[in-house]
Amino acid sequence: MKPRLLDLFCGAGGAAMGYHRAGFEVVGVDIARQPHYPFEFHRADALDFLSRTGGFDAVHASPPCQHWSRAQQHGLTYETGHLLSATRTALVEFGRPWVIENVPGAYMRPDYRLCGCMFGLPGLRRERWFETSWVDWQRFRAKHRHVGRTVTVAGHPGRRSTRDGYGNGTTAEWRAAMDIDWMTNREMAQAIPPAFTQMIGGRLLDQIRSAESAAG
């Protein structure tokens, strides 16, 4: 039987697909309707759902990142910054191995700093941070090696990104760079490339197996 992973603030399922490829049965939760989520989905407040559920071996959470994003530099404000610490507290109380994902600069311990260039994703310039419930002495830290034209998946395809000045690429380039073919452009702009969580999922499985072995 596959271990079960609860995917909180799941969006359209980029992280979920990576964990699925790593060997998990994935269940997603989001307060917004997610018609393209590829696995079992529940529309609910993520932290409320976590407080009422059980039967999961691990949890991934991607609380809203806008508070920590570069949008702040353009005078935009969001009332979601508290969700990162609230999510961490809830995951610790839940008592299963966990992963939190967010953008560079978020108030978190970046155990893994991953970018598309680390995974051979074609031209993808997209760094994300991951904090985990365990200590990995072989942590991955992004050493950017972007050669040639890069693809920034943000805003709208075909335009120049106001965020960092890089060309955004076409919809086809977005799909190839992210390895995602089931989302809309808007959903992709918020998504995690599955390659990121497929790698982290392998380490998460190691944590689950170690806990099972320790329990006898």
Q: Which domains can be identified in the chain, with CATH numbers?
A: 4-214 (3.40.50)
**Cα 149 to the center of its chain, rounded Å:** 24
Q: pLDDT tens digits, residue range 169-193?
A: 789 999 999 999 999 999 999 999 9
Of 3, 99, 83, nearest to 47 by C-alpha is: 83
Helix (H) or strand (E) holding 83: helix 82-94
- Mean pLDDT, the chain, rounded, equals 87
Strand, helix or coil for residue 167:
strand
Three-class SS state of 41: strand
Q: What's the DSSP call for residue 99? A: E
Element (H, E) at 60: strand 58-61
Sign of CA dihedral 105, 106, 110, 114: negative
Please list the residues that pair with 130 across neighbouring strands.
101, 112
Q: What is the pLDDT of residue 75?
A: 47
pTM: 0.88
Residue (of 1, 60, 5) closest to 27 by Cα position: 5
pLDDT at 203: 95
| Contact of 143 with 112, CB cutoff 8 Å | no
